[in-house]
């Protein structure tokens, strides 16, 4: 693991460089040996991530650009640039982008993988873990999470998934 501080991304630049049709995770923290996961996520205007529950991890959501709302615990919280929201583990939540879309940074403790650990030499570090974000599997129309690892069309509403 490298213990030297360095700039990994400039979020405004990533948003500017991304095409208007690009959605989902535009950037992911991928450093070896990390204890955190972080994602820059962009939802197009009016897009939603349906209600779901995270049972293991607290999530910090920082709005970078755009607007929207998060429904959690019976409350609806309005989101605007520089808003920081804590989503405690076991909370049910849904996210919706406003008329100008929503870009946010999500940060949480790295989740250990659900795979069998491979046999490695003692000097080799096992990185394990699962993908930091599955928003590219969420239907942009209805919010359904696709079981297909490379969906083309949503099996619920028929919406075409954006090309990767």
Given a cut of 90, whether residue 45 has pLDDT beyond it is: yes
Closest CA to 132 of 145, 113, 146, 150: 113
Rounded to 5 degrees, what are φ and ψ at 42? -125, 130
Distances (CA, A) of 119 to 85, 124, 125, 126: 40, 10, 11, 9
pLDDT at position 22 is 86
User: What mean pLDDT is predicted for residues 4-17?
Assistant: 92
pTM score, two decimals?
0.67
DSSP state string for 93-142:
EEEEEEEEEEEEEEEEEPPPPSSPPPP--TTSPP-----S--GGGB-TTT
> Higher model confidence: residue 113 or residue 21?
21
Summarised one tens digit per residue, pLDDT across range 100-159 is 999 999 999 987 655 454 555 555 554 555 445 677 778 877 777 887 777 887 777 777
pLDDT at position 79 is 98
pLDDT at position 156 is 74
Q: Which domains does the chain have, with CATH numbers?
A: 11-133 (2.60.120.10)
């Amino acid at each position: 693991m490298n213990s030297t501080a360095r700039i990994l991304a400039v979020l405004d630049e990533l948003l500017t460089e991304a095409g208007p049709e690009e959605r989902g995770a535009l950037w992911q923290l991928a450093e070896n040996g990390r204890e955190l996961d972080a994602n820059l996520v962009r939802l197009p205007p009016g897009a939603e991530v349906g209600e779901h529950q995270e049972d293991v991890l607290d999530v910090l959501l920082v709005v970078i650009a755009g607007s929207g709302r998060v429904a959690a615990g019976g409350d609806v919280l309005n989101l605007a640039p520089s808003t920081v929201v804590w989503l405690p583990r076991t909370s049910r939540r849904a996210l919706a982008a406003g008329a100008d879309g929503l870009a946010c940074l999500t940060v949480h403790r790295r989740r250990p993988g659900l795979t069998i650990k491979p046999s490695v030499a003692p000097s080799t570090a096992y990185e394990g873990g699962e993908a930091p974000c599955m928003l590219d599997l969420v239907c942009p129309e209805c919010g359904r999470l696709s079981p297909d690892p490379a969906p083309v069309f949503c099996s619920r509403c028929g919406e075409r998934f954006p090309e990767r």
